[in-house]
Structure 1
Amino acid sequence: MPHARFFPSIIRQFAAWVLALAASLMLAGPGFAQEASPQPARGGPIIGSDKIAVALYADGAPTEGKEWTLALRFTPSASEWHGYWSNPGDAGQGMRLSLNLPPDWEVGEARYPVPKRLLISGLMNHIYEGPYTVLVPVVPGPSVKSFAGTQVEGEIEYLACTDEICVPQAAALAVQAGGDFARWRASVAPLIDAKAQFAITGKTLRIAIPLPASVGLTDPHVFIANDRLVAYSSPQTFRRVGDVLVAEIPLDEYGTGKADALAGILAFGEGSGVRFEADLGTVPVGGEVIAGAQNAPVPPLWTLILGALVGGLLLNIMPCVFPILSLKAIALARAGESEAKARAEGLAYTAGVVLACVALGALLLALRAAGEQVGWAFQLQEPGVVVALLVLAAAITANFAGLFELPSVSMRLGGEPAGAFATGLLAAFVATPCTGPFMAAALGAALLLPVPQALLLFALLGLGLALPFLLLGFVPPLRRMLPKPGAWMERFRRIMAIPMGLTGLALLWLTVQLGGRPFGLIALVLVVGVLLGLFVTGKLQRGGKLAWPAFGLVAAPFLAFALIALPSVYESKASAPKASIHNPQTFSRDALAKARASGKPVFLWFTADWCVTCKVNEASSIERESVREAFVKAGVVPMVGDWTVRDEAITQFLTEQGAAGVPLYLWYAPGASGPDQLPQVLTPELLEQQASQFSLGIR
């Protein structure tokens, strides 16, 4: 911040707070009321206007029924002093104006120039630097015939501040002739012709402001006139939906969260902007993000493409994907395989993987456009989806073990393109929780880019996942490198049931984490019923009999029981604390703000029980005694955010950091304006080195 130079010590910050509080009390106190003050000479000071002088001007003579404009011209005595908008923000004081006009005259709302933002110690102020003019519209009544415009007098109270101190100002006003009204009108934010619409969704204010797409926005910001409705210092997000600009602003946590009407100023940047008024209504969803918290710097597109491809490629070694890929690859090495059939299977598998990734990505973008706070692998935050995956993993394990045959997705020899396509769909779906380090930037950027580019990244992620099998289908030398077909292939297939079975056990554990032990027990009963049905199906298949109706008869009662029992025993474990040797605080914005205000370094990590990378990092790097000792020595405040189940606050925070999902590791140095984002592959040495910089006084 450019204003940081004005805060050399904690003492000076405290002094500024005390002075600001005193100034506010003086302005609000009864001893400051005009009837308790001595009447000064016309135009003279009451308390004083030596920091920011003010003068009252009139635009010609008043006429009955026609708008007449008065102008308040504020002139600071030095460049360090600033005044305030009608809504001053987190601190400060708007002006209080009293004019001696006849009762049949109507005084409208004051019209201001576009204010500036001044952020000091986390407090947002809406200010004016240098001379500025406020226009006051007046419509004279019939009494104008006996009231000369030169008789207008009044009193005004306002606040003058620097970045360190505030001084109350007040003066008696007497109208003057002259003034540059043409320039002053041009400096005031004009009112747009059409009404805006607003809606309050969850903890966010959404405003649809009619604004042609041709209007340039270098640094947009919405100044809300309603007091304590929004969090002034929170990042704002802007989207374009045709000729409508949609602004999304977090609500004030301690405000009412309600409004019947809305008014404010939309700043374009560089001092320009428009004034708007808004009614409750429908606000469009979707659109292209053009600025704000979710418009973090996006890496070059070529690096995102490379990251998506490499990230998808690495997914093939995950325990839930590797058995599927390896068995399909070995199937290509069977004797007598034709080139055409190999290519067909490679293309079908790739089509299935890419389609699944694009479909999941499109669903994710659609949900976010509709206001849902979701991220990548969002489906694993839904207990019902996890139970379905558990049943699917159990069925695949049974298929690998030879318990039954499913021709369309069979891993046996003699597969068909339809089976390869279905296998690709399956591989992509079960791979989504494994967001590796190469994918992080690409998936985070996919939430910021226009929809076509975002879908391109999801498609390239799928292409990376399918690439090994695609190459095997199109490059005969690679197929010849595979082991020769033989009886060992059936044994290998059965061996691959082990990692798939372990994946099933991991999903069962996740089911318990999401819904509690009774929920997990009912899910296990469902799995047993499905396996029993598959066992019966396999026996009938080996006897050459009609098999699948029998499966339905056996499995149906278990499925009906699960559909009834699972919702009734579900117990959300979203608030359950995470066991850790660091005894971390649970993440919230308030907790993070307090931890940072303590002047200690903060290590914040976001995790989920279904995130493989998260669990590996925790076991290998975070939950280490040497790391705990380094943190204690440096006074590090550990904090964790658990994203196992959907949490809108965490999702929004992740998006602000440019992350589509977990893991995310942030290091806040004392006094730093923002966090340093650590790599997604951690080492104990990295964390110890971060901590040692503070224990040794380097930073």
Structure 2
Amino acid sequence: MLRHLIIRFTVLFAVTILSVSSFGTANAAQDMTTAWTDEDFASVRLISAQTRTNGSDTLRLGLEFELQPDWKIYWRSAGDAGFPPQLDWTGSENIGDATILWPAPHRFSIFGLETFGYKNQIILPIDVAIPNPDQPVSVRLNVDYLVCSDICIPASANFNLDIPAIAADSSASVASNQAHQIEKFVSRVPLRGTDLPISVNSITAQSGSEQPVLRLGISGLTDADVSVDDILIESDLRAGFGMPTAVSQPEGSSSGLSYFELPVFGLADGQSLDQAALTVTVIAGPLSIEQPVTVGTVKSLTASSQIGASPADTTSIWLIAIFALLGGLILNVMPCVLPVLSIKVMSVINMRAEDTKHVRSGFLASAAGIVTSFWLIAAALVAIKLAGGSIGWGIQFQQPLFLTVMTIILAVFALNMWGLFEISGPSELGNVANDAITDQQSRGRHLSSHFLTGMFATLLATPCSAPFLGTAIGFALAGSLFDIFLIFTLLGVGLALPYLAIAIRPGVARLLPKPGRWMNVVKIVLGLALIGTAIWLLGILSVQIGFGGAIAVGGGLVAGSLFVWARSRTEKLRPRFAFTALAVTGFLVALFAPGFAKPPQQATVARSNGQLEWQAFAPDTIPALIANGKTVLVDVTAEWCVTCQVNKKLVLETSEVARALGADNVVLMQADWTRPDQEIADYLASYGRFGIPFNAVFGPDAPDGILLSELLSVDAVLDALQKAGAGDGAKIAKGGA
């Protein structure tokens, strides 16, 4: 039974003897390696176990990765995200088929995603066929690989390695100095074939009341004196398999087998595992085996436990769809949408004098812009999810580049609203401009402004989280790719419903006052509103890149705006060109300033916020605090989350709530998600949340926590404090006896 292990250890011993003996003979063994290709996150090189072909029809190479801490590459079956290294042998000579021998990987679990790969150092052994064993080998290898940590980065490397047919020095060893290192990783490649030391003897699919599972019976564990660490399943089906769990021996089953169950995810409705061909890799300490199997009889599934259920198995997709529509609709009146209200108002005012057809098409174009922007957000989140990264609602506001670009756009919109872009130059230039505008309108380009208005409003609305929105977003981001696109489409439709309503009844737009001089005043006011929004974004930016960096961005915007104003004050062509160039320079300074700014340190100590004293975010300490009789309020917030700020001002910092939160047995714990933070992202995901605000109350009577709505109310907070065991303070604050 242990024949394979004995053979493997014999090979290792022989290679070791070759390596050791090389030290006693000059030039007995040589290095056979390329130079390292270095990246910030990994170093890669190609090595060979052989210094010459020596008449062999196979060449063993090794692709060696030295990965920085917390970075990983992927196994041949990456799992729910990522992809393995891709090899391109174009340009190689005397090279046939190449086979990667994949060492047993590690499992990485994050946000419900299961991926498989390697950390630290890994050598992927590669067996390459040599068509003409008597000729030298010229290796020209291009490697594309994906390396991931908190983010995923694609990289590539090119290697040239020439292996002679016969060594110039007859005393040189065939085995290179790298042969031993390659064989160390060959020993980690799962065993295959017959008469394996451990093997899968039975495999069936079971459908329980809650979760479909795959049950395996494995023999030989006792004799080999190993225990199972992990079981990996590969198949052509679009299904995922979770971590194995040891279970008791089923009644009437064969003795001598150890049984394990793996949860099954992602099969389509009606799809079955019956007679499915799978490849099972069992990892048991230093021993691993790979075995093709065929699933036996599959029990019929009930309607309540079908394989492929979404993360919210008991939740109707239609109910989630209603939540998405309501969440998008309510988003129109959330505080963070108020800064873009000016854009909506101006679009309605400008269409007041237009005919019904143009009013309808304009609002339909705005609705299309909203839905399209939600599709773009969904596509970006899907890309991040496939790459194994963190996803969440409003996370683009954590990116300094996004904030800077949005700030510049707001400033430009304000300048345009104030008429500083009106063409007032020579008549010839004006005629050209008028002709161009007429031509664009004849092509239907007048709709583009309405379309972009919808897209821009959506981008600025995403920091908000409204009632029903959090439930829908959590369902989508924890579900399949179809779930993400479905829910985000419905969210876009919900946000666009007011536009669609006016498109259906365009006469509503005609109820607005007739255009006149008053519109100039409105434009000034609304332009100031846009500038106010830009200043708000600069405040968020200062948290991410520091106050000095935000000042540099603001200074660039002010300089650019002044030169735009100066350009509008002259009709001479040369000064206009000069002021245009200077304005562009100012905006470029604003755009690139964050790249030269030094981000401030994250706060790790307690801080005061008005009437409240907040402790630094430390979720691991919550159980100990509860054990000491404390009640803990967790608040996940961000500078870019307007709803979070409204919750604080209108609820948490009111006298009633502040009095209850100031009790001796209440601990306030705050997490600042203004900048990306993996710990906070993981914490939110553990509660099925992917956006903020997030508030929860923990206490002796509620150790698992009471989750609060995205929009807080005084009664809801006081009720949660009382239920969690905060004592009489919350009851008295609420007005109880």
- Name the TM tier (shorter chain): 0.5 to 0.7
Question: Is this contact kept in 1: 2:718–2:730, CA < 8 A?
Answer: no
- Please point out which of 589, 593, 597 is paired with 1:569: 597
Residue 646 (structure 1) shift? 0.7
Q: 1:683 aligns with which of 677, 699, 713?
A: 713
1: CA distance, partners of 2:620 / 2:365? 50
Q: Displacement, 1:402?
A: 2.7
Indicate the SS of the match to 2:633. Answer: strand
User: What is the SS of the residue equivalent to 1:585?
Assistant: strand
Cα distance in 2 for residues equivalent to 1:530 and 1:417 = 28
Aligned mates of 1:440, 1:205 — CA distance in 2: 20
Count of residues in correspondence between the two structures: 477
Partner of residue 554 from structure 1, selected from 582, 588, 593: 582
Query: Does the CA-based 8 Å contact 1:631-1:688 persist in structure 2?
Result: no
Counterpart Cα distance in 1 of 2:108 and 2:289: 9
Distance in 2 of aligned mates of 1:354 and 1:317: 18
**Per-residue deviation, residues 562-609 of structure 1 (Å, max 9, x unmatched):** 566532322144336553333222223312333233332221111111
One of 479, 485, 493 as aligned partner of 1:455: 485
The residue number in structure 2 matching 1:323 is: 342
When residues 471 and 559 of structure 1 are mapped into structure 2, their CA distance, relative to the original with a 3 A threshold, is: same
Bigger shift: residues 441-450 or 601-610 = 441-450
SS in 1 for 2:671: strand
Matched, 1:626 2:656: yes
Give deviations 1:468-507, integer Å, cap 9, x for gaps.
Answer: 2333333133122221222222321222122222211111
Q: Tell me, what secondary structure is at the counterpart of 2:497?
A: helix
Q: Show the 5 A alignment for 1:426-575.
A: 426-539=456-569, 543=571, 552-559=580-587, 561-562=589-590, 565-575=593-603
Q: Distance in 1 between matches of 2:393 and 2:282?
A: 37
> Gaps (5+ residues) in structure 1?
1-63, 68-102, 107-193, 233-237, 250-262, 282-287
On the 8 A contact 1:312/1:463 being kept in 2, the answer is no
* Kept in 2: contact 1:522–1:562 (CA 8 A): yes
C-alpha distance in 1 between matches for 2:321 and 2:683: 26
Instruction: Calculate percent identity across the aligned residue pairs.
Output: 24
CA contact (8 A) 1:199 1:206 kept: yes
CA RMSD of the aligned region, Å?
Answer: 4.9
Aligned-pair CA distance for 1:679: 1.9
Per the alignment, residue 240 of structure 2 pairs with 245
1:630-649 to 2 correspondences below 5 Å: 630-633=660-663, 635-649=665-679
| Residues 239 and 291 in structure 1, CA contact (< 8 A), matched pair in contact too | no
TM-score (norm 1): 0.58
Taking the aligned partners of 1:506 and 1:625, their CA distance within structure 2 comes to 27
Q: Which amino acid aligns with 1:440?
A: G
Aligned ranges for residues 205-604 of structure 1 at < 5 Å?
Answer: 206-207=114-115, 218-219=210-211, 242-245=237-240, 247=242, 265-268=260-263, 276-278=281-283, 300-315=319-334, 318-334=337-353, 337-405=354-422, 416-539=446-569, 543=571, 552-559=580-587, 561-562=589-590, 565-575=593-603, 578-580=607-609, 581-604=611-634
Q: Secondary structure at the match of 1:570?
A: coil
Structure 1 residues 248 and 373, CA, compared in 2 at 3 Å: closer, same or farther? farther
Matched AA of 2:488: F
Moved more, 664-673 or 553-562: 553-562
In 2 relative to 1, CA 588–405 (structure 1 residues): closer, same or farther, beyond 3 Å? farther
Amino acid in structure 2 at the alignment position of 1:650: I
In 2, the alpha carbon distance for the partners of 1:547 and 1:315 equals: 45
Query: What are the superposed Cα offsets for residues 607-654 of structure 1, whole Å, 9 maximum, x if unpaired?
Result: 111111100111121123432332344712221111111111211221
- Structure 1 pair 317–659 and aligned structure 2 pair: CA distance change class (3 A): closer
Separation of aligned partners in 1, 2:541 and 2:486:
32
Indicate conservation of the 8 Å contact 1:289/1:450, yes or no.
no
Letter in 1 for 2:608: A
Give SS of 2:612's match. Answer: coil
**Conserved in 1, the CA contact under 8 Å of 2:421 and 2:568?**
yes
CA distance in 1, matches of 2:336, 2:520: 21
Partners of 1:585 and 1:289 in 2: how far apart? 44
What is the distance in 1 between the residues matched to 2:237 and 2:308? 12
What SS does the aligned partner of 1:323 have?
A: helix
Q: Distance in 1 between matches of 2:578 and 2:205?
A: 64
Normalised by the size of structure 2, how large is the TM-score? 0.56
Q: 2:227, 2:554 → 1: CA distance?
A: 50
Which position in structure 2 is the counterpart of 1:8? Answer: none
Answer whether contact 1:208 1:246 (CA < 8 A) is retained. Answer: no
Change (3 A) 1:397 1:547: farther
Cα distance change of structure 1 residues 349 and 595 upon mapping to structure 2, 3 Å threshold: same
1:539 Cα deviation (Å)?
Answer: 3.9
Q: How far is the alpha carbon of 1:201 from its aligned partner?
A: 8.0
Distance in 1 separating the partners of 2:422 and 2:639: 32
Q: Aligned partners of 1:301, 1:600: CA distance in 2, in Å?
A: 36
Q: Could you tell which deviates more after superposition, 293-302 or 648-657?
A: 293-302
Whole-Å separation in 1 of the counterparts to 2:115 and 2:585: 50
Q: Which runs of 5+ in 2 are unaligned?
A: 10-101, 118-199, 216-220, 245-257, 265-277, 291-305, 424-432, 438-443, 732-737
Which amino acid in structure 1 is aligned with residue 705 of structure 2?
A: P
Is the 8 Å Cα contact of residues 213 and 244 (structure 1) preserved in structure 2?
Answer: no
Query: What is the rounded CA distance, in whole Å, between the counterparts of 2:662 and 2:335 in structure 1?
Result: 39
Alpha-carbon deviations, 1:138-197, whole Å to 9, x = none?
Answer: xxxxxxxxxxxxxxxxxxxxxxxxxxxxxxxxxxxxxxxxxxxxxxxxxxxxxxxx9975
- Displacement of 1:457: 2.1
Alignment deviations for residues 541-571 of structure 1 (CA, whole Å, 9 cap, x no partner): xx49699965651134335545665323221
Where 1:496 maps in the other structure, the secondary structure is: helix
Distance 1:573 1:333, change over 3 A: farther
The answer to which of 210-219 and 429-438 deviates more is 210-219
- In 2: Cα distance, 1:280 partner to 1:65 partner: 12
Deviation at 1:203, TM superposition (A): 11
Alpha-carbon spacing, 1:564–1:502, altered in 2? closer, same or farther (3 Å): closer
Q: Deviations over 1:438-468 (max 9, x none)?
A: 4222222221333223212212222233332
Which secondary structure does the structure 2 equivalent of 1:682 belong to? Answer: coil
